[in-house]
Amino acid sequence: MIYMRQRKYHFRITEIISQKRKSLISSAFYALLLLLSASFFVPAAQAAHTTEAVIQQAVKNRLQQELRQTARQYKWNKYSHHWDIWVPASAKHLPPCNTKLKITSRDNQQWPVGHLKRQVQCTDPKHAWRLTVTVKASLTLPVVVMTQPVKRGNTISTSMLKLEKRTLTRETSFLTRISQVKGKTATRRLRSGQILSPLWLEKPPLVKKGNLVLIVASKDGVNASTRGTALEEGGKGDQIRVENIKSKKVIRAIVTGKNTVHTQF
């Protein structure tokens, strides 16, 4: 007699249903884990991005403040600017700062033009950090330009000048009003079309060495005058040596006008 073991069909179906149920639970569990992981990592990435954006905006605000102050000080009327701000890649790993960012200059440039450096500092006691941001800045405004060449030592007249809008990409000295050049002489040869720098100008001396000068002496509201010879040149407010023609005495007097000096007796 042969005995054959037969499976219970209803047991097999139950087993299949159980396995499917376990599989569904497992899939749902892993899906939940992925969702939780995504929820955990996304804010961190967003926080890093936000930190970088906040740094850029803080530096931009500081540059705007500096530019407004400079424009007010030097009386610039119409100007525009462009800034390219580079934040170090390390900023992506910085925690968000819960205090106002402190921005300080890391260069000694007079104008906010050219390659600038600004230090950004977070003073949050829990997340203190600092880094240096690089800025490439350009400035566009009307400046004084030469319309013809001028030799060294020659006086510059207003007919030799014009205002022209130029874009400055590096730090350089310039003038924004033609009146700033009135009565001045060139200390070097100047080319036509060249932006005029105040460093290339000087006021001609009111008294030249060897000139005959009027010496005005005063005391207690009483003035007396005599003639003298200038032993050195000087501009207004300069103190120079002068020889009294009559007494041959050498005195020190202050230049107050064209070939005029003042002293006290």
pLDDT tens by residue, 192-242 = 999 999 999 988 888 999 999 999 998 877 888 999 999 999 888 889 999
Q: Which residues neighbour 218 within 8 Å (Cβ) at sequence distance 6 or greater?
A: 224, 262, 263, 264, 265
**Which has more pLDDT, 92 or 141?**
141
Distance CA 214, CA 212 (A): 7
Distance CA 59, CA 65 (A): 10
Distance CA 169, CA 9 (A): 87
Over residues 15-41, the mean pLDDT reads 47
Distance CA 124, CA 95 (A): 10
- Answer yes or no: are the C-beta atoms of 226 and 215 closer than 8 Å: yes
Q: What is the mean pLDDT of the chain?
A: 84
Residue type, 224: A
Give the per-residue pLDDT at 84.
96
Domain locations in the chain as residue ranges: 51-137, 142-202, 211-263
- Answer yes or no: are the C-beta atoms of 67 and 74 closer than 8 Å: no
Is the pLDDT assigned to residue 48 strictly greater than 60?
Answer: no
- Is the pTM higher than 0.75? The answer reads no
Over residues 251-262, the mean pLDDT reads 93
* CA 77 to mean position of chain CA atoms: 18
Is the pLDDT assigned to residue 4 strictly greater than 50?
Answer: no
Please tell me the class of the 211-263 domain.
mainly beta
Residue type, 82: H
Give the per-residue pLDDT at 122.
93
Q: Which residues of 2-40 are buried (b: 16+ CB within 10 A; e: fewer)?
A: eeeeeeeeeeeeeeeeeeeeeeeeeeeeeeeeeeeeeee
The CATH fold assigned to 142-202 is Type Iii Antifreeze Protein Isoform Hplc 12 (3.90.1210)
Give the per-residue pLDDT at 130.
94
Q: How confident is the model at residue 12 (pLDDT cuts 50, 70, 90)?
A: low
Over residues 35-50, the mean pLDDT reads 42
Tens digits of residue pLDDT in 151-180: 998 999 999 999 999 999 998 999 999 999
- Nearest by Cα to 156 from 180, 138, 139, 129: 180
Tokens of 167: 């874009």
Q: How confident is the model at residue 182 (pLDDT cuts 50, 70, 90)?
A: confident
Is the pLDDT assigned to residue 249 strictly greater than 80?
Answer: yes
Tens digits of residue pLDDT in 23-32: 544 555 455 4
- Answer yes or no: are the C-beta atoms of 116 and 109 closer than 8 Å: yes
Q: Do domains 142-202 and 211-263 have the same CATH topology?
A: no
